[in-house]
C-alpha cells in the first residue's frame, strides 16, 4: 500500500484579505470569486468592534438583523456562518470561527490590509507612514452591498474615523521637514489628495516639488487644479498662503531657470 500521499504535509495556502477599497480574498495569488459578502462584513466588524476579536452571536444578530425575530435572526446567522465555513474549508484556511455562543477571528498568518493599515498608523517613522499610504486602498468595504441600517451607520462611522486618522497622520508628516524623504513626501502628498481632494497642504507640497524639479507647467497645473477643486467643492478659491506660495515659486523659476546641461 502506497502511504506516500498520506504522509505528505498539508499545504498551507497564502491568503490575502482586502477590505479597504475593493474587497477580495486571494488564495495563493488567485482571487476567489465565490467569497460570501458576509465574510467581509463579519470579519471587519469583529476586528474593529469585537472584544479580543470575538463577539457573542446575540450581538451579531442584533447588528445585522435587528428587525427579525429571534428565530429568524438565529437562522440567518447560522446560514451565513455555514457559507463562510464552507468557503474556508474549500480553500484550506481559517479566518472566522464560531461555537454555540461566540463568533471569533483567527487572522494570524493572513495578510489583511486593514490590520496592516492599523499597525502602520501606530508608527511615527517614514516606513510606517509610507505603509499606511500603501495599505489604505479606499473606504472600508467600499464595494460591498448595503446591509442593515444599524450596520451601515456603524460602517459610516468607521470609514470616517479611518479616513480622518490617515489625513491627520499624513498632514502631520508633511508639516515636519525632518520625517520624510523627498520621495516619501511626494507619495504622502498624492495619497492625501486622493483621500482629501481639497487639501491645500498636499497641493503646496506638490507645487514645491514641481518647482524644485524646474517643471513650471506642472506647477501651474497643480495651482489651477487646486483653485478648481476648491471652487467646485466650496465656492471659494485657494488661501492666501497657497496663492503666495505659487507666486513665489513662479518668480523663482523665472528668475533662476533650472540648468538642463545645455550650453
170 and 206: one domain?
A: no
Same domain (yes/no): 116, 222: no
Query: What average pLDDT score do residues 229-254 get?
Result: 94
- Check residue 140 and report its DSSP letter: B
Q: Is 228 in the same domain as 138?
A: no
Is 118 inside a domain boundary?
A: yes
Mean pLDDT of the chain: 93
> Which range marks the domain in which residue 204 is found?
197-263
Q: pTM of the full predicted structure?
A: 0.89
Q: Identify whether residues 11 and 95 lie together within a single domain.
A: yes
For residue 176, the cross-strand partners are: none
Same domain membership, residue 230 and residue 130: no
Q: How far apart are CA 88 and CA 36, in angstroms?
A: 10
Tens of pLDDT, residue by residue over 121-166, are 999 999 999 999 999 999 999 999 999 999 999 999 999 999 999 9
Q: How many CA atoms lie within 13 A of 251 on its CB side?
A: 6
pLDDT value of position 95: 97
Instruction: Provide the pLDDT for residue 143.
Output: 95
Let me know whether 15 and 61 are in one domain: yes
Supply the CATH number for residue 163's domain. Answer: 1.10.10.10
Residue finishing a domain among 150, 183, 216: 183
Query: Are residues 229 and 110 part of one domain?
Result: no
Same domain? For 42 and 170 the reply is yes
Let me know if residue 192 belongs to a domain: no
Are residues 166 and 223 both part of a single domain? Answer: no
Would you say 115 and 104 are in contact if contact means Cβ atoms under 8 Å apart?
Answer: no
Question: Same structural domain for residues 149 and 217?
Answer: no
Number of structural domains (the chain) is: 2
Cell of 237: 478659491
Amino acid at each position: 500500500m502506497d502511504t506516500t500521499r498520506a504522509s505528505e504535509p498539508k499545504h498551507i495556502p497564502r491568503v490575502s484579505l482586502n477590505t479597504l477599497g475593493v474587497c477580495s480574498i486571494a488564495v495563493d495569488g488567485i482571487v476567489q470569486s465565490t467569497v460570501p459578502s458576509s465574510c467581509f462584513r463579519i470579519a471587519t466588524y469583529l476586528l474593529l468592534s469585537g472584544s479580543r476579536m470575538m463577539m457573542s452571536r446575540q450581538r451579531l444578530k442584533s447588528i445585522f438583523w435587528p428587525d427579525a425575530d429571534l428565530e429568524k435572526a438565529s437562522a440567518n446567522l447560522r446560514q451565513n456562518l455555514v457559507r463562510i465555513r464552507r468557503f474556508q474549508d474549500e480553500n484550506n484556511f481559517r479566518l472566522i470561527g464560531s461555537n454555540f455562543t461566540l463568533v471569533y477571528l483567527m487572522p494570524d498568518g493572513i495578510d489583511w490590509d486593514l490590520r496592516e493599515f492599523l499597525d502602520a498608523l501606530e508608527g511615527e517613522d517614514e516606513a510606517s507612514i509610507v505603509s499606511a499610504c500603501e495599505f489604505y486602498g479606499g473606504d472600508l468595504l467600499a464595494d460591498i452591498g448595503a446591509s442593515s441600517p444599524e450596520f451601515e451607520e456603524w460602517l459610516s462611522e468607521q470609514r470616517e474615523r479611518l479616513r480622518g486618522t490617515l489625513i491627520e497622520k499624513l498632514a502631520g508628516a508633511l508639516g515636519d521637514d525632518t520625517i520624510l524623504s523627498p520621495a516619501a513626501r511626494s507619495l504622502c502628498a498624492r495619497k492625501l489628495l486622493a483621500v482629501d481632494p481639497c487639501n491645500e497642504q498636499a497641493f503646496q507640497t506638490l507645487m514645491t516639488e514641481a518647482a524644485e524639479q524646474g517643471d513650471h507647467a506642472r506647477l501651474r497645473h497643480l495651482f489651477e487644479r487646486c483653485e478648481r477643486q476648491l471652487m467646485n467643492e466650496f465656492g471659494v478659491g485657494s488661501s492666501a498662503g497657497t496663492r503666495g506660495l505659487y507666486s513665489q515659486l513662479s518668480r523663482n523659476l523665472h528668475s533662476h531657470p533650472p540648468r538642463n546641461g545645455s550650453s
